[in-house]
C-alpha cells in the first residue's frame, strides 16, 4: 500500500512539474512575441520635437502659462520650452493652436521635474486649451512601453505631487496630446490618479491622445478617461470621441490600470504594457483595462495582473467592440470579459486565469482563434 501511495505522489508531482513547465513556455513565448506585435511600429506623430525652435523659454520660476494673461501673444504653432530642473506645479490655460499648427510645450536642455503640492491644479493642470501637445521628447524619445524602467529617459517627470496630470474640462478643451511623461507617486495617502480627464455633464470632448508615458505607483487609476455614469441616461453624460491611448507603461497601480468611460467614436487602446494593478484590492477597481459605456478597439496590450485583465462591464446597445492580439497573464477573476452585444474577441492569449479565461455574454458575440492556457 505504501508503494502505491509513493507512486501516486510521484505522478502527481510530475504532472505539476509538467504543468508549470508548459506555463513557463507559454509565458516566454508571449514575452518573446512582444518585440514583434506589441512593440511594433511607432506612430509618426510620436516623432521627436527637439528640432522645433523655441518661441518662448519658460524658466523654473514660472508656474502658469496663460494665453490670456502672461503670454497674450501666443499663436498657433508656438513652442514653449521648459528649462531643465525642478519646478512647482505647472498650469496651462488659454492655449489654442489649430489642426495644422499645434502649440507645443516641451522640455529643453535636459529633464524637467515637477514636484509641487497644489492639490487643485495637479502636477500639470490643463484648462480651456485646444490643439495643445505636452511632450517630454524634447531631448530623448525613450519613454513608454517599449523600454524598461532603467532605459527610460522621459523628459518631463511629475512626481510626489498630490495629483498627476489633470485636464479640467470645459467647452473650450479639445485635441490634447500627452506624451513622453513620467508620472509617479502622486499621493502616498489620498487615492489620486496619474492622468485624469473627466468631461462635465453634457460635454463632448474630442481628440485625446495619450501615448509613450510611464505611470508608476498611484493609489487610484493610472490613466482615467471619462465620466462616471452613476446610473444616468447616456444622453446627459459627458462624452469623449477620437480617443487613443497607446504605448504606455502602467505599473504598480492601486485601482485599474487604464479606465475608459463613455467614449463612443473612434476609440483605440493599444500597445500598452500594464503590470501589477488593483493592488488595493478595491472591488470594481481591479482591472488592467476597465471599460464602461464605451465602444472601440482594444488590441496588442500586454497585461500581467492578479485580478482582472480586460473587462467591459456596462455596455452600450448595438456596439461592435473588438478585442484582439492582447496577452493577459495571471488574472484570477477573468482574462477578457465583454458583456455587450456583437463583441468580437479573437487572436488573444490568456494564461493562468483563475476563474474565466474569456467571457462573452452578449448576443451575436464572436469568440475565435484565442489561446487559453494554465
* Mean pLDDT over each residue of the chain, to the nearest integer: 87
Nearest to 29 by CA among 302, 344, 214: 302
pLDDT at 35: 43
Neighbouring residues of 59: CB distance < 8 A, sequence distance ≥ 6: 83
Dump pLDDT digits (tens) for 284-308.
889 999 999 999 999 999 999 989 9
pLDDT at 314: 79
Confidence of residue 187 (pLDDT cuts 50, 70, 90): confident
Confidence of residue 231 (pLDDT cuts 50, 70, 90): confident
Burial class (CB in 10 A: 0-12, 13-18, 19+), 350: buried
Q: How many helices (H) and strands (E) does the chain have?
A: 1, 32
pLDDT at 188: 66
Burial class (CB in 10 A: 0-12, 13-18, 19+), 116: buried
- Measured CA to CA, the distance from residue 356 to residue 228 in angstroms comes to 26
- pLDDT of 327 > 90? The answer is yes
| The residue to which cell 488593483 is assigned | 278
- Measured CA to CA, the distance from residue 369 to residue 230 in angstroms comes to 36
Phi, psi of 9 (to 5 degrees): -65, -45
- pLDDT of 29 > 90? The answer is no
Contact between residue 175 and residue 193 where contact means Cβ atoms under 8 Å apart: no
pLDDT at 263: 94
DSSP 72-122: TT--TT-EEEEEEEEE--EEEES-B--SSS-EEEEEEEEEEEE----TTT-
Domain 2-373 of CATH type 1.10.3470: no
pLDDT at 39: 55
- Please report, rounded to a whole number, the percentage of residues in the chain having pLDDT higher than 90: 69
- pLDDT of 266 > 60? The answer is yes
Confidence of residue 85 (pLDDT cuts 50, 70, 90): very high
Dump pLDDT digits (tens) for 88-117.
999 999 999 999 999 999 999 999 999 987
Q: Where do the domains of the chain lie?
A: 2-373
Interval 155-168 mean pLDDT: 92
- Measured CA to CA, the distance from residue 80 to residue 57 in angstroms comes to 6
pLDDT at 48: 56
Of 18 and 77, the one with more pLDDT: 77
Query: Which H or E run contains 311?
Result: strand 308-314
Contact between residue 286 and residue 278 where contact means Cβ atoms under 8 Å apart: yes
pLDDT at 317: 76
Confidence of residue 145 (pLDDT cuts 50, 70, 90): very high
Dump pLDDT digits (tens) for 344-374.
999 999 999 988 999 999 999 999 999 999 7
**pTM, rounded to two decimals:** 0.88
- Measured CA to CA, the distance from residue 372 to residue 374 in angstroms comes to 7
- pLDDT of 20 > 50? The answer is no
- Report in angstroms the alpha-carbon separations of 279 from 71, 186, 206, 265, 321: 43, 15, 32, 31, 28
DSSP 20-46: HHHHHHHHHHHHHHIIIIIS-PPPGGG
Confidence of residue 87 (pLDDT cuts 50, 70, 90): very high
pLDDT at 45: 47
Amino acid at each position: 500500500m505504501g508503494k502505491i501511495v509513493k507512486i501516486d505522489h510521484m505522478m502527481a508531482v510530475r504532472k505539476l512539474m509538467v504543468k508549470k513547465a508548459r506555463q513557463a513556455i507559454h509565458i516566454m513565448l508571449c514575452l518573446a512575441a512582444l518585440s514583434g506585435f506589441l512593440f511594433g511600429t511607432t506612430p509618426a506623430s510620436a516623432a521627436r520635437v527637439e528640432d522645433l525652435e523655441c518661441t518662448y523659454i519658460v524658466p523654473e520660476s514660472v508656474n502658469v502659462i496663460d494665453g490670456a494673461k502672461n503670454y497674450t501673444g501666443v499663436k498657433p504653432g508656438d513652442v514653449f520650452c521648459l528649462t531643465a530642473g525642478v519646478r512647482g506645479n505647472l498650469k496651462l490655460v488659454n492655449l489654442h493652436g489649430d489642426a495644422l499648427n499645434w502649440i507645443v510645450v516641451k522640455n529643453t536642455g535636459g529633464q524637467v521635474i515637477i514636484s509641487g503640492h497644489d492639490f487643485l491644479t495637479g502636477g500639470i493642470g490643463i484648462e480651456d486649451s485646444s490643439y495643445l501637445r505636452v511632450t517630454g521628447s524634447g531631448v530623448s524619445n525613450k519613454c513608454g512601453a517599449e523600454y524598461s524602467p532603467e532605459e527610460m529617459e522621459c523628459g518631463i517627470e511629475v512626481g510626489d505631487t498630490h495629483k498627476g496630470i489633470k485636464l479640467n474640462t470645459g467647452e473650450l478643451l479639445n485635441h490634447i496630446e500627452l506624451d513622453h511623461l513620467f508620472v509617479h507617486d502622486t499621493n502616498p495617502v489620498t487615492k489620486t490618479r496619474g492622468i485624469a480627464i473627466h468631461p462635465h455633464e453634457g460635454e463632448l470632448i474630442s481628440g485625446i491622445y495619450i501615448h509613450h508615458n510611464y505611470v508608476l505607483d498611484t493609489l487610484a487609476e493610472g490613466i482615467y478617461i471619462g465620466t462616471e455614469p452613476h446610473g444616468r441616461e447616456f444622453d446627459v453624460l459627458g462624452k469623449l470621441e477620437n480617443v487613443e491611448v497607446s504605448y504606455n507603461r502602467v505599473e504598480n497601480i492601486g485601482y485599474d490600470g487604464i479606465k475608459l468611460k463613455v467614449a463612443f467614436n473612434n476609440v483605440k487602446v493599444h500597445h500598452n504594457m500594464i503590470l501589477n494593478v488593483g493592488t488595493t484590492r478595491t472591488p470594481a477597481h481591479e482591472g488592467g483595462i476597465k471599460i464602461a459605456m464605451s465602444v472601440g478597439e482594444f488590441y496588442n496590450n500586454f497585461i500581467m495582473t492578479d485580478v482582472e485583465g480586460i473587462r467591459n462591464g456596462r455596455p452600450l446597445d448595438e456596439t461592435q467592440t473588438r478585442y484582439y492580439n492582447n496577452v493577459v497573464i495571471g488574472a484570477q477573476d477573468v482574462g477578457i470579459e465583454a458583456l455587450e452585444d456583437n463583441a468580437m474577441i479573437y487572436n488573444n492569449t490568456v494564461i493562468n486565469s483563475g476563474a474565466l479565461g474569456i467571457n462573452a455574454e452578449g448576443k451575436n458575440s464572436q469568440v475565435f482563434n484565442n489561446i487559453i492556457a494554465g
